[in-house]
Amino acid sequence: MKTPELVATAWTSAGDTSPMLTPAVSPVPVDERVRAIADAGYVGFGLVADDLVAVRDSIGFAALRKMAAEHGLRHIEIELLERWWVPRGEPGNTHATRELLFEAAGVLTPAFIKIGSENGAPTTDLDALAAPLRRLAEEAAAHGTRVAIETMPFSAIATVPMGARLLRATAHPAAGLLVDAWHVFRAGTTLAELDAALPGEYVFGVELDDADPHIVGTLFEDTVERRRLCGQGSFDLPGLVQVLRDKGFDGPWGVEILSESFRRLPVAEALQVAARTARKVL
């Protein structure tokens, strides 16, 4: 088996910031992040939209792409687009973020743009999202990239099986799934259910993380404040990895650690320990 390749997803290298903050810009200079990611042995990285704004308005996307190449980082992911079905001009639309992400994609050529849905109860009309998702996938393809849905148990597209059903209805090769261990297990999806519901070609990316057995606070608070390093929690990560490998996925594997304690670590140290523990699982 080849040595597993890892991606430092956005929050893993972001330092002392959080999805709870607006804006959620990393306090760590992007050149320092990129250097620390490469030094820890990752093959790529992710950035959130707020960080992309900071990059665009400072060094520019072309300089970031050159920096990544100089450090041997060949895999980039950008995020997060929600409420992508809301038409331009209507309340709650996210077209400004959509345009930012596609502008960045035109220069950074990311493996995919990560998309979510909307926090709240699971949708009861999944088919209504198929046409908007198809249009988004067509636009992504025109910018040389793809979109990957990250299902989240506190959102409209709550589970991987729901995401797979939506992709079947969408039927576009530039639309796929981002399978996050946290959201699989916290949604209560079993490995058998995952295996039955998920065609291998739908898996654009995977994120590994771990958790305590019991949720503390709201599910969203638990998600952003209390993730554990891989292998230091209750998830069956080896089982999940095996299911995904059996479906043909073999990386690069994202590592997404989000917690109050993790973000207090120096970024270089945080990236090293996140990589070391993920490799043990893989």
**pLDDT tens per residue, range 38-68:** 999 999 999 999 999 999 999 999 999 999 9
Q: Report domain extents, the chain.
A: 6-281
Angle, to 10 degrees, between the axis of helix 61-70 and the axis of helix 95-108?
A: 40
Region 101-110: what's the mean pLDDT?
98
What is the model's pLDDT at position 1? 64
Q: Is 80 exceeded by the pLDDT of residue 86?
A: yes
Tell me if 243 sits within 8 A of 195, measured CB to CB: yes
d(CA 122, CA 72): 40
What is the model's pLDDT at position 174? 98
Q: Where are the beta strands (DSSP E) in 29-74?
A: 44-48
Dihedral angle computed from the Cα positions of residues 147, 255, 211 and 30, in that order, rounded to the nearest 10 degrees: -90
No. of H helices and E strands in the chain? 11, 8
Q: Is 80 exceeded by the pLDDT of residue 2?
A: no
Which run of H or E residues covers position 79? strand 75-81
The conformation of residue 111, written as its DSSP 8-state character, comes to: S
Neighbours of 186 (CB within 10 A): 18
Q: Is 70 exceeded by the pLDDT of residue 181?
A: yes
Dihedral angle computed from the Cα positions of residues 224, 226, 231 and 233, in that order, rounded to the nearest 10 degrees: -130
Domain 6-281 falls under CATH 3.20.20.150: yes
Tell me if 199 sits within 8 A of 272, measured CB to CB: no
What is the model's pLDDT at position 3? 87
The CA-atom distances, in angstroms, between 9 and each of 12, 18, 44, 167 are 6, 13, 8, 23
Region 4-22: what's the mean pLDDT?
97
